[in-house]
Amino acid sequence: MQVTGAVNGQTRGGVVTQTEWEWPISTHLQKHHERAALLRPVPFETTTQVDDPSDSSNTGKALSLNISSGGMLVLMDYAPEVEQVLKVRVPTPTNSAGTPTLAEVRWTRKLPFGSSSNEGAYFVGLKFLF
């Protein structure tokens, strides 16, 4: 993809190219809800399919970055599969409480730091199901 006038791009032969840090931005904000910054640990558990008991569930913690009535953005140490359903404890303004709910992974983006392998940190967009 060629971009002109990009600040974060790299120049190759006079053409500014897209870097892995640049992601497409939607100008259609109809699906985006009012968001609030909220930095809290988010305990999560992966769900298993009823028809496949061999699936094992994983538990862990993510870090919430922002939240809205429709979902939240978290930082995780791996990239769950898109459409994976997670049981999460939605953080509240007080550290002592969290509301359990189900959330679907809508997208993931690897932070462009560290090695090029799958190790590292990921932005994960979650949509609340209830």
The pLDDT tens digits for 53-112 are 666 678 999 999 999 999 999 999 999 999 999 999 987 766 666 788 999 999 999 988
**Phi and psi dihedrals of 90, rounded to 5?**
-65, 125
- Say yes or no to pLDDT of 17 above 50: no
Nearest Cα neighbor of 124 from 42, 25, 27 is 42
pLDDT score of 118: 65
Query: Contact at 8 Å (CB) between 53 and 39?
Result: no
Query: Contact at 8 Å (CB) between 34 and 68?
Result: yes
Q: What residue spans in the chain does CATH classification 2.40.10.220 cover?
A: 31-128
- Segment 31-47 mean pLDDT: 85
pLDDT score of 96: 64
Which pTM does this prediction carry?
A: 0.71
3-state secondary structure of 58: coil
pLDDT score of 45: 95
Q: Which residues contact 13 (CB under 8 A, 6 or more apart)?
A: none
pLDDT score of 103: 96
Cα–Cα distances in angstroms (integers) from residue 19 to residues 9, 23, 78, 123, in the given order: 6, 9, 21, 17
What is 31-128's CATH number? 2.40.10.220
The residue count of the chain comes to 130
